[in-house]
Amino acid sequence: MIKQWIKKKLAKNATTGEVRRAVNLSVGGTAAVSIIRKLVQAGYEAYLVGGAVRDLLLGVQPKDFDVVTNATPEQVKALFRRSRIVGRRFPIVHVPMGAETVEVSTFRSGQVRQNDAGRVVRDNAYGTMAQDAVRRDFTCNALYYDVIKGEMIDFHQGMVDIAARRLVMIGDVAERYCEDPVRILRAVRLSGKLGFEVAAETAAPIAAAVHLLAREPQSRLFDELLKILFCGYAEACLRQLAVLGVGDEVHPFLSVLQQGLEQDTVVAQALRGTDARVREGKTVSAGFVLAALLWARVRPLWQRNIGRGQSPAAAMGDAVLQIRGGFERDWGVPQRYSAVMREIWLMQPQFAHQRGGRPFRLLAQPRFRAAYDFLLIRAAAGEADAQTAEWWTRFQAANEAQRKQMTAAQPNTASGDAPAKKKRRRRRRKSATSANKALES
């Protein structure tokens, strides 16, 4: 009876290792499903693939869906009028549909061009689904779901590994890390996010292959670190680095994250807050989070400049100028994020001004809310005056008359970190004529 059930549920191809299983995944009326139906109606094969399929099996709602097909990028583009082909190394098609943009890739054969170090530099030789499965990184990401038949196609026991919560690399592990060293960071992210144990044979070559990451562009490494940061389990991922033998020398941003995690700093506060918001399905501003995480590089410069006699605002301006080029050029931080970071940092000294019209002008700034939230994080970490943060909380909730009363009664502070000391009024020196007259009288 059991043997008959297994025979019925699993149809295995002895040549490719292909296993097909009837599975009912809740994919709903997503844009990806509409794209798949249109491709199939046009005579092509098309499936859901990768992380979305994995997450659905784990009971997690995917953020996006990827589609794979035997249609070439040019054929896909011809079918979807507003689509566009992107990428040279791995050409794919971005297909916009409603508010979504779905990535559609073509089955690849695995016949790649590599450089002298063994890294894949071109992978656009098209092939079959079985060949495509071989070139994917982990078994849990090599699952293909046929939304028309409600059938899962598995070439590398990915469903078994997902059930066992195990992360397993496909193929020769050392060679796969050499082909693309960023897979090391992907192993860190997936194991930390999913709570998977990295299989011994998958983990073993990592420590020896970490140095290969130094050859990757900083911008690409930064993109992968952002995925770790916004996966909802950044703390768990960062702790996984030590387990897998990945040091913080991989990228300076990683060093900042690791150091901040060890102490109850603004970095730790930001990491916990970001993890909580992502898991609750709330929106997260990348610029805001990066401003908090990189604050450890800005604040010492700000304080040093103040110590040299600069005003808090001028001191912050100089500090931001000093680090701006390094973040954008050397760290690979996109300008769209660094611009938000700068605005948030430059507004921090302004919270010290609580008299006259300046609080009203600050409140009207487009980036006020983000800068205020950042002030709250600094206050919670003991790096900003709690009374200043509390005053701004009340100021926002007050009506116009109450705000005017608050600004009339509140003394200014010297910096964003502590209340200012009251300035001593200098006694006016009497002129010689006045002194003589006083003596004469």
Which residues are identified as catalytic? Answer: 64, 66, 137
Q: Which of 152, 166, 164, 289 is nearest to 226 (CA)?
A: 289
For residues 225 and 264, the answer to whether their CB atoms sit within 8 Å is: no
3-class secondary-structure state, position 260? helix
Where helices occur in 262-334 by DSSP H, the ranges are 266-279, 286-293, 295-307, 312-325
Q: 292, exposed or middle or buried, with CB in 10 Å at 0-12, 13-18, 19+? A: buried
Instruction: Say which residues have a Cβ less than 8 Å from residue 247's Cβ, sequence separation at least 6.
Output: 210, 241
Number of other residues whose CB lies within 10 A of the CB of residue 341: 27
Beta bridge partners of 111: none
CA 272 vs CA 47, 54, 248, 378: distances in Å: 36, 25, 20, 14
Question: Using alpha carbons only, what angle is made at residue 8 by residues 6 and 14, rounded to the nearest 5 degrees?
Answer: 75
Tokens 């050499």 belong to residue = 178
Q: How much is the CA Rg of the chain, to the nearest whole Å?
A: 29
Instruction: Say which residues have a Cβ less than 8 Å from residue 135's Cβ, sequence separation at least 6.
Output: 108, 109, 110, 112, 123
For residues 313 and 350, the answer to whether their CB atoms sit within 8 Å is: yes
Q: Give Cα 52 distance to the centre of its chain.
A: 18
- Check residue 435 and give left, alpha or beta (phi > 0: left; psi -120 to 50: alpha): alpha
Question: Using alpha carbons only, what angle is made at residue 59 by residues 190 and 134, rounded to the nearest 5 degrees?
Answer: 50
Strand locations in 212-277 (E): none
